């Protein structure tokens, strides 16, 4: 987590840095700071959001055309003014911003302490910049050389930017495990954790690779690896519109992203699916078609919401392709000794493409000879680049911390892959395959239909806004939807919520049910319909309040449930794409009514780039 931004060129640096930090605030918002260099190296930093930093600056900040900024999600040291970035080195001649963790900072701090260095903060970051300063003093070398030598002795994952009063003409940046994008302008360069602060100025970017050090001056960009070998920067042209990273009239990014889903799902299918012609092509997986045909096992690794979409994929792939599927929390997978054989297929699913646990699970699988498919939203992200093959979600930037449109796009991409695989493997009848393509193509319209009920969901939210607990129940493909609904509510409204397979309720959670317990039941008409009707009766018998998501035209459940939300009918495999929408809306409205910061919930960050 943490957002990094840097600028060197001919424009006033401060407004560029502040605007960039606001765009990156979704990555962390415990504190913010900027460093500006012009004759002196001035640091301004403050606990809280970027707006608090702006308010705290008295008078005008140092006028300059070179600077860097940081928005923090705390790892080492509590979030306060002192621990906020940037950090000075011991002498204050150097300053650093850092995203990630320096694992061996304790031993480095001890060694530097013995040499007489003193520290102002509790952070690993201050240790790193002081270590860099110590190396520059010892080797009498340039800033970039000092950074390179220091990083070769450091253990951890990081993206850093460093500047110094000793040479005001440059910014030095480096990365290992945390993203860093360089924007290439005319006589100016930008640096950021993702492209959103850059796109306003240039769409030409260079993605810094792991173990590379970049030197940015007004005259040019030079990149070397940690062995000091020069690297040729590859310039990508980004296809990212400015409007896609703005709220466009919506009160929150989350609401905008919920309402974007008919379009984001259509974008995700565009060029890949044309049901009338029986066309289903995913360019990114074409080269590994044989591996998919011959696969004996598929493993999914992911975290959070992305993990929920993998659970849905498990049901669909097992049903359509008859291949055993394992869905693993990436953070658990890497710490056991999982059985992975040469040629096994591992899908890594991630919105950000930067989740540290997922990346580490991929590295482990790669070392055992697995074929890695990345299903990722952020183009050029670390997971995308670590994968052998994969497919982008094309959902557009997702800025709200609570994932919504990325989830439905993941479902669409994974379903398209399942359909393609089943067709290639001959495990699906031709007629069923075509019917499914036709129905899949209709999903954007069905999602739009659900969104028309936003008002009704808002009214239900009003009734339950003060609840202390929620239970979410679903069966089959709607069980992961129950998990996702509960996660959405927890993370943005801070109401305790649990998702359960409806039949498991009687093995424990049923004890929680009384007249104060709202129970959201995803009870669309599928093969477990009769069973879930019984589960609703069990809840009602204990006076629980049932909010049921049902298929349009259902005549039975409305008689039992306290509140119902109808969704259009679709094939069972696609129902999660539709049934999750009211749950996203419900959590959004409840959180707003409780006065929560929906886009930036407490303690969370959009991409979790630390273990
Ligand atoms: O970027 P990723 O999809 O890898 O992120 C995984 C989780 O951190 C993420 O889904 C998280 O659970 C969201 N806040 C859920 O809304």
Whole-number pLDDT of residue 15: 96
Whole-number pLDDT of residue 342: 87
Other residues' Cβ atoms within 10 Å of the Cβ of residue 241:
12
Alpha-carbon span 38 to 369, nearest angstrom? 51
Bridge-based pairing of strands 273-274 and 279-280 is: antiparallel
Alpha-carbon span 496 to 478, nearest angstrom? 20
Q: Which residues contact 214 (CB under 8 A, 6 or more apart)?
A: 172, 173, 174, 180, 182, 206, 208, 221, 222, 223
Most confident of the ranges 71-85, 374-388, 430-444: 430-444
The three-class DSSP label of residue 427 is coil
**Which residue intervals of the chain bear CATH 3.60.20.10?**
3-243
For residue 607, give the ligand 1 atom closest to its CA.
1
Other residues' Cβ atoms within 10 Å of the Cβ of residue 431:
8
Q: Which residue in the block uniquely carries the two structure tokens 């959590």?
A: 587
Closest C-alpha among 453, 465, 477, 475 to residue 582: 453
Measured from CB, residues less than 6 Å from any atom of ligand 1 are 303-306, 350-352, 355, 358, 401-403, 487, 491, 604, 607-608
Ordered alpha helix ranges (H), 426-528? 430-441, 443-451, 454-464, 478-493
Whole-number pLDDT of residue 287: 79
Best of 608, 609, 610 to mutate for ligand 1, by most ligand atoms within 8 A of CB? 608
Tell me which residue has its CA closest to atom 12 in ligand 1.
Answer: 304
Ligand 1 midpoint to CA 486 (Å) = 14
The yes or no reply on domain 247-441 and CATH 3.40.50.10490 is yes
For residue 606, give the ligand 1 atom closest to its CA.
14
Enzyme catalytic residues: 2, 606
Ligand 1 midpoint to CA 303 (Å) = 6
Other residues' Cβ atoms within 10 Å of the Cβ of residue 388:
17
DSSP characters over 240-297: --GGGGS-TT-SSHHHHHHHTHHHHHHHHHTTTEEGGGTEE--GGGGGGHHHHHH-S-
**Which residue intervals of the chain bear CATH 3.40.50.10490?**
247-441, 453-599
Report the mean per-residue pLDDT for the chain. 93
Whole-number pLDDT of residue 447: 98
Tell me which residue has its CA closest to atom 9 in ligand 1.
Answer: 304
Residue 341 has pLDDT above 80, yes or no: yes
Report, as an integer, the average pLDDT of 105-114: 95
pLDDT, tens digit (0-9, with 9 covering 90-100), for 547-575? 999 999 999 999 999 999 999 999 999 99
Beta partners for residue 225, in sequence order: 212
Residue 242 has pLDDT above 80, yes or no: no
Ligand 1 midpoint to CA 393 (Å) = 14
CA angle at residue 609 from 606 to 611, to 5 degrees?
120
Strands, sheet with 545-551, edge to edge from the N-terminal-most edge strand: 496-501, 469-474, 518-522, 545-551, 563-567
The residue that leads in pLDDT, 58 or 149, is 149
Report, as an integer, the average pLDDT of 329-336: 90
CA distances from 127 to 39, 234, 272 (A): 25, 32, 49
Residue 503 has pLDDT above 90, yes or no: no
Whole-number pLDDT of residue 245: 78
Bridge-based pairing of strands 389-392 and 371-376 is: parallel
Alpha-carbon span 94 to 465, nearest angstrom? 50
Residue 505 has pLDDT above 90, yes or no: no
Alpha-carbon span 400 to 259, nearest angstrom? 13
Residue 239 has pLDDT above 90, yes or no: no
Q: Which CATH architecture has domain 453-599?
A: 3-Layer(aba) Sandwich (3.40)
Residue 609 has pLDDT above 90, yes or no: no
For residue 355, give the ligand 1 atom closest to its CA.
4
Residue 174 has pLDDT above 90, yes or no: yes
Ligand 1 midpoint to CA 413 (Å) = 17
Whole-number pLDDT of residue 246: 79
Best of 379, 395, 403 to mutate for ligand 1, by most ligand atoms within 8 A of CB? 403
Ligand 1 midpoint to CA 351 (Å) = 7
Q: Which residues contact 175 (CB under 8 A, 6 or more apart)?
A: 158, 159, 160, 208, 209, 210, 211, 212
Closest C-alpha among 204, 212, 211 to residue 188: 204
Alpha-carbon span 532 to 554, nearest angstrom? 13
Confidence of residue 73 (pLDDT cuts 50, 70, 90): confident
Q: Which residue in the block uniquely carries the two structure tokens 């319209």?
A: 445
Q: What percent of the chain has pLDDT over 90?
A: 81
**DSSP code for 495:** -
Ligand 1 midpoint to CA 112 (Å) = 37
Best of 194, 303, 350, 395 to mutate for ligand 1, by most ligand atoms within 8 A of CB? 303
The three-class DSSP label of residue 404 is coil
Whole-number pLDDT of residue 605: 75
Residue 604 has pLDDT above 90, yes or no: no
For residue 383, give the ligand 1 atom closest to its CA.
4
Whole-number pLDDT of residue 286: 79
Alpha-carbon span 47 to 52, nearest angstrom? 7
Whole-number pLDDT of residue 26: 80
Alpha-carbon span 501 to 531, nearest angstrom? 11
The three-class DSSP label of residue 235 is coil
Whole-number pLDDT of residue 253: 93
Tell me which residue has its CA closest to atom 8 in ligand 1.
Answer: 304
Alpha-carbon span 86 to 246, nearest angstrom? 27
Whole-number pLDDT of residue 289: 85
Best of 306, 384, 583 to mutate for ligand 1, by most ligand atoms within 8 A of CB? 306
pLDDT, tens digit (0-9, with 9 covering 90-100), for 457-486? 999 999 999 999 999 999 999 999 999 999
Ligand 1 midpoint to CA 593 (Å) = 24
For residue 304, give the ligand 1 atom closest to its CA.
12
Ligand 1 midpoint to CA 376 (Å) = 12
State CA 508 to chain mean position distance. Answer: 33
Residue 610 has pLDDT above 80, yes or no: no
Ligand 1 midpoint to CA 608 (Å) = 8
Tell me which residue has its CA closest to atom 4 in ligand 1.
Answer: 350
Task: Check if the beta carbon of residue 261 is closer than 8 Å to that of residue 405.
Answer: yes
Q: Which residues contact 431 (CB under 8 A, 6 or more apart)?
A: none
Confidence of residue 494 (pLDDT cuts 50, 70, 90): very high
Alpha-carbon span 511 to 488, nearest angstrom? 23
Closest C-alpha among 96, 219, 209 to residue 147: 96
Report, as an integer, the average pLDDT of 175-183: 91
CA distances from 433 to 110, 568, 574 (A): 64, 21, 13
CATH number belonging to domain 3-243: 3.60.20.10
Q: Which of 58-62, 314-318, 550-554 has the lowest mean pLDDT?
A: 58-62
Confidence of residue 317 (pLDDT cuts 50, 70, 90): very high
């Amino acid at each position: 987590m943490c957002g990094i931004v840097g600028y060197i060129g001919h424009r006033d640096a401060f407004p560029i840095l502040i605007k960039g930090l606001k765009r990156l605030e979704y990555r962390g918002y415990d504190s913010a700071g900027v460093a500006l260099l012009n004759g002196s190296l001035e640091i301004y930093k403050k606990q809280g959001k970027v707006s608090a930093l702006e308010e705290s600056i008295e008078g005008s900040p140092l006028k300059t055309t070179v600077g860097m900024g940081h928005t923090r999600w705390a790892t080492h040291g509590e979030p306060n003014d002192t621990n906020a970035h940037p950090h000075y080195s011991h002498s204050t001649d150097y300053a650093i911003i850092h995203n990630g963790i320096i694992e061996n900072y304790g031993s480095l701090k001890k060694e530097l302490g013995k040499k007489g260095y003193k520290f102002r903060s509790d952070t690993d970051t201050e240790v790193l910049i002081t270590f860099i300063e110590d190396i520059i003093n010892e080797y009498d070398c340039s800033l970039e050389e000092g950074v390179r030598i220091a990083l070769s002795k450091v253990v951890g994952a990081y993206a850093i930017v460093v500047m110094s009063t000793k040479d005001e003409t440059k910014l030095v940046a480096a990365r290992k495990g945390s993203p860093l994008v360089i924007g290439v302008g005319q006589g100016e360069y930008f640096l950021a954790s993702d492209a959103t602060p850059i796109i306003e100025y240039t769409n030409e970017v260079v993605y810094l690779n792991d173990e590379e050090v970049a030197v940015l001056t007004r005259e040019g960009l030079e990149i070397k690896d940690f062995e000091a070998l020069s690297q040729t920067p590859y310039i990508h042209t980004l296809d990212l519109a400015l409007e896609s990273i703005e709220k466009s009239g919506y009160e929150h990014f989350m609401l905008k992203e919920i309402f974007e889903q008919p379009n984001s799902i259509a974008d995700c299918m565009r060029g890949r699916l044309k049901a009338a012609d029986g066309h289903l092509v995913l360019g990114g997986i074409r080269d590994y078609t044989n591996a998919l045909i011959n696969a004996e096992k598929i493993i999914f690794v992911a975290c959070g919401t992305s993990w929920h979409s993998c659970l849905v994929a498990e049901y669909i792939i097992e049903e359509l392709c008859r291949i055993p599927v394992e869905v693993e929390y990436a953070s658990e997978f890497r710490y056991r000794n999982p059985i992975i054989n040469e040629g096994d297929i591992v899908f890594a699913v991630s919105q950000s493409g930067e989740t540290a646990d997922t990346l580490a699970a991929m590295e482990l699988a790669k070392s055992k000879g697995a074929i890695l498919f990345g299903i990722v939203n952020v183009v050029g992200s670390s997971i995308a680049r670590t994968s052998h093959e994969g497919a982008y979600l094309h959902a557009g930037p997702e800025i709200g911390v609570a994932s919504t449109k990325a989830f439905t796009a993941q479902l669409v991409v994974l379903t398209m892959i399942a359909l393609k695989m089943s067709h290639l493997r001959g495990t699906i009848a031709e007629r069923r395959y075509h019917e499914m393509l036709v129905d899949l193509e209709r999903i954007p319209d069905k999602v739009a239909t659900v969104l028309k009920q936003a008002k009704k969901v808002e009214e239900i939210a009003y009734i339950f806004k003060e609840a202390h607990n929620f239970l979410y129940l679903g069966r089959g493909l709607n069980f992961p939807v129950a998990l996702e609904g509960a996660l959405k509510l927890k993370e943005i409204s801070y109401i305790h919520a649990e998702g359960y397979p409806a039949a498991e309720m009687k093995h424990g959670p049923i004890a929680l049910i009384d007249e104060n317990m709202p129970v959201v039941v995803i009870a669309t008409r599928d093969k477990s319909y009769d069973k879930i009707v019984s589960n609703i009766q069990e809840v009602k018998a204990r006076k629980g309040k049932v909010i049921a998501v049902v298929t349009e035209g259902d005549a039975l459940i409305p008689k039992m449930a306290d509140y119902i939300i109808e969704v259009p009918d679709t094939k069972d495999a696609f129902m999660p794409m539709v049934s999750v929408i009211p749950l996203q809306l419900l959590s959004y409205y409840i959180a707003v009514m409780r006065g929560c910061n929906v886009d930036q919930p407490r303690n969370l960050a959009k991409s979790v780039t630390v273990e």
